[in-house]
Amino acid sequence: MFEARLVNSSTFRKVLDAIKDLLNEASFDCSENGIQLQAMDSSHVSLVSLNLKSDGFDKFRCDRNLTMGMNLTSLGKVFKCSGADDTVTMKAQDYADTVTFMFESKKQDKISDYEMKLMNLDQEHLGIPDTEFSCIIKMPSIEFARIIRDLSQFGESIVISCTKEGVKFSAQGDIGTGNVKLAQTHNFDKEEESVTIDLQEPVALTFACQYLNSFTKATPLSNQVKLSMCENVPLVVEYQIPELGHLRFYLAPKIEEDEN
């Protein structure tokens, strides 16, 4: 028997909105530690890794490890039926082929439940090694989304280069070039608005705009985003989900073509 209750269903809805742009379907692995999801996009260039801790839920029970393959479009339809401040409860039997979502309104006067069919997805799990990153950038997630959106107009790929002066995002294309430089700022009153750079050595990597744009769909989850970069290692874009866990996106860097 699996049961997970979350008073704030909108958090789960935001997670779903963040990943359904990249993934069409995914397996949710439930264990007593919580819910994990790991999946690659259809082009196998990026990896989505979601971790929701069990103690972040208002009620969590998982007697037996369970993998639930879900179509995220269908899951999106289910959550569209929920109200903004509903409480959600996820339920599934052991070895079940369906999962039930129950939504309760705040005043407990309306209860709706939806049962969704599960899918058999054969997905390979990738072991993600611990990496010593050359630089770790923390910045406001809205700012990151804005920069990526702006620069997407100029080219298909964005170069993120980080030096001790700051971090520079640049793109070039047919109409011209665009550059955005951010310096470190500390805002002690509003921690979430500061830009911090933890630099071991300078690094510059190129990434596909479209993927970065998809990652920024997670912006509503968190005020801050953490970018971790290292030469020849995928970029990690991490959004903390308050009290519940984190959502990480891994993106393989583009192979430099400039020399050719």
Beta-carbon-side half-sphere exposure of residue 109 (alpha carbons within 13 Å) = 1
**Which CB, 88 or 252, lies closer to another protein?**
252
* CB-count burial class (<10 Å; 0-12, 13-18, 19+) for 122: exposed
Residue 227 binds to another protein (criterion: CB under 8 A): no
Q: Measured from the CB of residue 129, what is the shortest distance to another protein in angstroms?
A: 7
Counting residues that bind another protein (by CB under 8 A) gives 43
Residue 237 binds to another protein (criterion: CB under 8 A): no
| SS3 (DSSP) at 153 | coil
| SS3 (DSSP) at 105 | coil
- Under rule CB under 8 A, which residues in 35-74 are in contact with another protein? 40-47, 69, 71
Instruction: For residues 12 and 241, give the distance between their C-alpha atoms in angstroms, rounded to a whole number.
Output: 10
**Token reading at 48:** 């989505």
By CB under 8 A, name the one of 103, 211, 215, 239 that touches another protein: 211
Which residues lie across from 71 on neighbouring strands?
A: 25
Q: Measured from the CB of residue 191, what is the shortest distance to another protein in angstroms?
A: 32
Residue 186 binds to another protein (criterion: CB under 8 A): no
Instruction: For residues 59 and 87, give the distance between their C-alpha atoms in angstroms, rounded to a whole number.
Output: 11
Closest C-alpha among 48, 63, 122 to residue 96 = 63
Closest C-alpha among 251, 257, 254 to residue 45 = 251
Contact between 9 and 111 under an 8 Å Cβ cutoff? The reply is no
Cα–Cα distances in Å, from 69 out to 29, 86, 181? 9, 24, 42
Q: Measured from the CB of residue 131, what is the shortest distance to another protein in angstroms?
A: 9
Residue 208 binds to another protein (criterion: CB under 8 A): yes
Closest C-alpha among 87, 76, 95 to residue 30 = 95
**Which CB, 37 or 182, lies closer to another protein?**
37
By CB under 8 A, name the one of 59, 64, 106, 125 that touches another protein: 125
Residue 251 binds to another protein (criterion: CB under 8 A): yes
Q: Measured from the CB of residue 68, what is the shortest distance to another protein in angstroms?
A: 11
Residue 245 binds to another protein (criterion: CB under 8 A): no
- Under rule CB under 8 A, which residues in 77-106 are in contact with another protein? 97-98
Residue 127 binds to another protein (criterion: CB under 8 A): yes
**Which CB, 95 or 188, lies closer to another protein?**
95
Amino acid at 183: A
Q: Measured from the CB of residue 45, what is the shortest distance to another protein in angstroms?
A: 4
**Which CB, 6 or 151, lies closer to another protein?**
151
**Which CB, 6 or 45, lies closer to another protein?**
45
Instruction: For residues 216 and 210, give the distance between their C-alpha atoms in angstroms, rounded to a whole number.
Output: 10
Query: Where along the sequence are the contacts to another protein (CB under 8 A)?
Result: 22, 24-25, 40-47, 69, 71, 97-98, 117-121, 124-129, 156-157, 207-211, 214, 233-234, 250-255, 257
